[in-house]
Amino acid sequence: MQGFHTIIEPFRIKSVEALKFTTREQREEALRRADYNVFKLRGDDVLVDLLTDSGTGAMSSAQWGALMQGDESYAGSRSFYRFEAAVRDLTGFTHIIPTHQGRAAERILFHTILHPGMIVPNNNHFDTTRANIEVEEADARDMVIDEGRHPAVIHPFKGNMDVRALEALLERDADRVPLVMVTVTNNSGGGQPVSLANLRAVRAVCDRFEKPLFLDACRFAENAWFIKQREDGYADKTPREIAREMFALADGCTMSAKKDGLANIGGFLAMNSDAWAEQCRTLLILTEGFPTYGGLAGYDLEAIARGLEEVVEEPYLKYRIRSTEYLAEKVSGAGVPIIQPAGGHAVYIDARAMLPHITPLQYPGIALVNALYVEGGVRGVEIGTVMFGLCPDGTERAGDMDLVRLAIPRRVYTQSHIDYVAEVVIGVWKKRQQLKGYRITQAPPVLRHFTAAFAPLG
C-alpha cells in the first residue's frame, strides 16, 4: 500500500499450530539428552525454530487446495505435467526431472557426470552439495569473491563468484572441470545474492571454455528480489522476469523446492543436455522413482507447481526480505556482530567475532546455538567448523567462518515472534563472556554436524 510505512504480512492466518513453552531447567535437560546437538532435540521442545527455512514454510490455502487435485498415477500423472509446465515456464530448461529434494538432484547429477579427481567450482557449496561431490572423490572448490569471506564487509552482491579465480582454474585445469555451479542465494556465505552482471561474466567464461553452467537455484526468488532492489536497470522488472533472466544464462539447475518452491518436500534437476538427462533419468529410476514422479506424490508436484507461482509475487518477496532485515537491524543495533548486509532467508551471527575467547576448534558456533536454545528456546544452526572443518582425510581445521544461522521459515512467524528472537539473541550477547566451548565426543566421518555428540568444556 502506497503511503504507509508498515510492511505487513501479506496474508491472514487460517490455521494455527500451538507452541509449547518450557522452563530453562527443562531446556537444559533436553539439551543434555540431545548430546548438546540441537539437531537431536525434539521439535516440541523448541519454541521458535530457526534451524532451517527448508520444508518448514506454511503452504497457502491455494496450495492445500491443489493437493486434492493430485493425480497419483504411477506414470504420466497429470500433476507431473502441471509441475513440468510450471518449472519450464520459469526456467526454460528442456528436461525437468522431479526428485524428492535438492540433495537427490545433486546426487543424481554428480554421480552421473563426476569421476575421481574432477573439480566443481561454485561460489560456496552447501554442505550436501559438497558431500555429494566429495563422495565421488571429486573436489568441491569454493570461489566466492573476497568480500564474501568477510562478515562485516558490506557489498550488494556478496555471493558473486570470483570470475578471475574461475578463469585461472579453467586455464590450468579445464579438462578436470565438467561444469561450473553458482548458488543463488549463497547459503553457506550468508544467504547473499549473486548479480546478473556476475552471472553474465561467469557465463562468458563458461562459453570460452565450453563448460555448462548450473545454478543451485534453491533461493532463486530471493536472489531475484535482491537484483530488483540493488542492480542497476532492474527496478522496473518483475521478480519472475529477473528469475527467467537468471535461468536463461544457465544450462541447468538443481533445486530444493523446500525453499523457494514453498513446499514441504520436493525438488528437481533440470537441464538442456539430452545426453546427461538420459543418464540422469536412468539413475533416477534406480534410486528415486519413475521420471514422472521422482520420489514425490502427485499432490507434492501440485503444491510445488503452485508454490513456484506464489514465490515470485512482489508483496510476498517484499515482506520476506524485509522481515529478515528487520531481525538483522535489531540484533546488530545492539552490537551483535552479523554478516552484513542481512541475507535473504536468514541472519548469520558471527560467532567467532562474538566469542573470541572460544577458539574455532572449541566450536564457538555450537556454544552460541546451545546458549540461544537454553536462553529462550530458539533453535539456530552452526555453519562453521563443525559443519565444514572435517577434511576428507579425517583431519580437522577451522572453517572459513564460524557462523550461527537463524533461518526464517517462510510465512510462519509474525513480527512479534521475531521481536522475541531478537530479545533472546541480545540476552545471550550480554552474557557472552560466560559462554564456554565444546568438544566432540562422537561423530560420523561425513556430514558430522547432524549427529555428532558434544560435551561442554570446563
Tell me which of 151, 252, 267, 377 binds ligand F0G, using CB under 6 A. Answer: 267
Minimum gap (Å) between residue 126 Cβ and ligand F0G:
4
Which cell numbers hold the place of 272? 538442456
Q: Is 129 in the site for ligand F0G (CB under 6 A)?
A: yes
Point out which span in 124-132, 172-180, 419-427, 442-450 binds ligand F0G (CB under 6 A): 124-132
Q: What minimum distance in Å lies between the beta carbon of 237 and ligand F0G?
A: 24
Among 60, 122, 187, 195, binds ligand F0G (CB under 6 A): 187
Residues 212, 235: Cα–Cα separation, whole Å: 29
The alpha carbon dihedral of 82, 84, 90, 94 has a sign of negative
State in angstroms the smallest separation of the CB of 157 from ligand F0G.
16
* 382 CA to centre of own chain: 13
Q: Which is nearer to ligand F0G, 239 or 266 (CB)?
A: 266
If binding is defined by CB under 6 A, does position 121 make contact with ligand F0G?
no
Whichever of 60 and 123 has its CB closer to ligand F0G, that residue is 123
- CA–CA separation, 335 vs 332, rounded Å? 5
Of 130 and 211, the one with the shorter C-beta distance to ligand F0G is: 130
> Least separation, in Å, of the C-beta of 449 and ligand F0G?
11
158 binds ligand F0G (CB under 6 A): no
Cα–Cα dist 177/211, whole Å? 8
Listed residue (439, 430, 441) closest to 371, CA to CA: 430
The residue (of 22 and 223) whose beta carbon lies closer to ligand F0G is 223
Closer residue to ligand F0G, CB minimum distance, 358 or 407: 407
Strand partners of residue 270: 96, 253
Minimum distance from residue 135 beta carbon to ligand F0G (Å): 14
Tell me, by CB under 6 A, how many residues bind ligand F0G: 15
**Residue at grid coordinates 509446465:** 85
Closer to ligand F0G by Cβ: residue 113 or 358: 113
Smaller CB separation from ligand F0G, 195 or 223: 223
First to last CA, the chain: 55
Cα torsion 147, 217, 190, 238 to 10°: value is: 80
∠ at Cα 76 (74, 77), nearest 5°? Answer: 70
Residue 180, H or E segment: strand 180-183
Minimum CB distance to ligand F0G smaller for 159 or for 341: 159
Give the C-alpha separation, 285 to 331, whole Å.
47
Cβ-closest position to ligand F0G:
102
Out of 22, 91, 160, 183, point to the residue binding ligand F0G (CB under 6 A): 183
Is the peptide bond preceding residue 185 cis, with omega within 30 degrees of 0? yes
Position among 41, 46, 48, 54 found at the interface with ligand F0G (CB under 6 A): 54
192 near ligand F0G (CB under 6 A): no
Does residue 126 interact with ligand F0G by CB under 6 A? yes
- Round to whole Å and give the CA distance between 115 and 268: 22
Work out how close the CB of 338 gets to ligand F0G at its nearest, in angstroms, rounded to a whole number. Answer: 17
Q: Does 218 bind ligand F0G (CB under 6 A)?
A: yes
Q: Does 258 sit near ligand F0G (CB under 6 A)?
A: yes
Candidates 45, 84, 136, 216; binder of ligand F0G (CB under 6 A) is: 216
Q: 326 near 418, Cβ under 8 Å?
A: yes
Contact residue for ligand F0G among 60, 63, 123, 128 (CB under 6 A): 128
Is the Cβ of residue 52 or residue 385 nearer to ligand F0G in the bound state? 52
Q: Provide the grid cell at 236.
A: 522496473
Other C-beta atoms within 10 Å of 313: how many?
Answer: 16
Nearer to ligand F0G, 129 or 340 (CB): 129
Residue 75-114 contact track with ligand F0G, rule CB under 6 A, x = bound: --------------------------xxx-----------
56 binds ligand F0G (CB under 6 A): no
Matching residue, cell 565450453:
210
Check binding of 52 to ligand F0G (CB under 6 A). Answer: yes
Q: How far apart are CA 53 and CA 67, in angstroms?
A: 21
Query: In 189-275, at which residue ranges do the beta strands (DSSP E only) sit?
Result: 213-216, 252-256, 267-271
Residues 6+ apart with CB under 8 A from 127: 188, 387, 388, 447, 449
Report the distance separating Cα 329 and Cα 347, nearest Å. Answer: 10
Nearest distance, CB of residue 366 and ligand F0G, angstroms = 16
| Closest to 332 (Cα-Cα) out of 348, 310, 319 | 348
Question: How far is the C-alpha of 386 from the C-alpha of 399, rounded, in Å?
Answer: 8
Binding mask 288-317 for ligand F0G (x = CB under 6 A): ------------------------------
Q: How many residues appear in the chain?
A: 458
List of residues contacting ligand F0G (CB under 6 A): 52, 54, 101-103, 126, 128-129, 183, 187, 216, 218, 256, 258, 267
